[in-house]
């Protein structure tokens, strides 16, 4: 039974990583200030995960190494990039992004992210970009 459940669980982990984290990294092409950091962090995490997978599985098991990189590297890259952006931004930027996140949560009837914690929420980078674009928007003259 375990022999059947383990591959299914690993496939679900890889699918979750591709569906929830990989597309976020590809959307960073629009967010130009974060693009260089995203490339560096993603490349670093891919290299680290590849070295770790080769150490665990050995160099002859290429499929296991590729699967491990596909399952872990996007999530690790996204978390590292979110933390980097959180530490780089000032309090005003964090507060503006939190207001965007709270407004989105109210609109979708979801619980809002806590503003008093020390950790960034999942879509922090996109909320910062929305706040930045709203701050530079000038309505057209009438």
Given a cut of 60, is residue 1 above it in pLDDT?
A: no
CA–CA distance, 39 with 18 (Å, rounded to integer): 17
* DSSP per-residue letters across 55-114: HHH-TT-HHHHHHHHHHHHHHHHHHHHHHHHHHHS-HHHHHHHHHHHHHHHHHTT-PPPP
Given a cut of 60, is residue 109 above it in pLDDT?
A: yes
What token pair was written down for 136? 């530079």
Where exactly are the structural domains of the chain? Answer: 1-77, 89-142
For residue range 67-100, what is the model confidence (pLDDT) as tens digits? 888 788 888 888 888 888 888 888 899 889 999 9
Q: Is 52 helix (H, G, I), strand (E, B) or coil?
A: helix
Residue 116: in which H helix or E strand, if any? none
CA–CA distance, 74 with 23 (Å, rounded to integer): 9
Note the pLDDT of residue 106. Answer: 92
pLDDT band at 139 (very low <50, low <70, confident <90, very high): confident
What are the backbone dihedrals phi and psi of residue 16, each rounded to the nearest 5 degrees, phi first? -65, -40
Contact between 131 and 100 (Cβ < 8 Å): yes
CA–CA distance, 129 with 142 (Å, rounded to integer): 27
Contact between 77 and 42 (Cβ < 8 Å): yes
CA–CA distance, 92 with 28 (Å, rounded to integer): 22
Mean pLDDT, the chain, rounded, equals 82
pLDDT band at 54 (very low <50, low <70, confident <90, very high): confident
């Amino acid at each position: 039974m375990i022999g059947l459940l383990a591959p299914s669980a690993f496939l679900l982990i890889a699918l979750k990583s591709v569906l929830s984290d990989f597309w976020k990294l590809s959307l960073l092409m629009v967010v130009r200030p974060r693009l260089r950091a995203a490339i560096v962090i993603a490349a670093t995490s891919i290299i680290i995960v590849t070295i770790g997978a080769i150490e665990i599985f050995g160099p002859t098991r290429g499929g296991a190494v590729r699967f491990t990189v596909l399952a872990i590297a996007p999530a690790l890259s996204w978390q590292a990039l979110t933390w980097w952006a959180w530490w780089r931004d000032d309090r005003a930027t964090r507060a503006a992004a939190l207001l965007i996140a709270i407004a989105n949560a109210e609109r979708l009837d979801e619980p809002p992210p806590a503003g008093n914690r020390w950790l960034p929420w999942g879509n922090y980078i996109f909320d910062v970009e929305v706040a930045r674009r709203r701050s530079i928007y000038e309505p057209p003259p009438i």
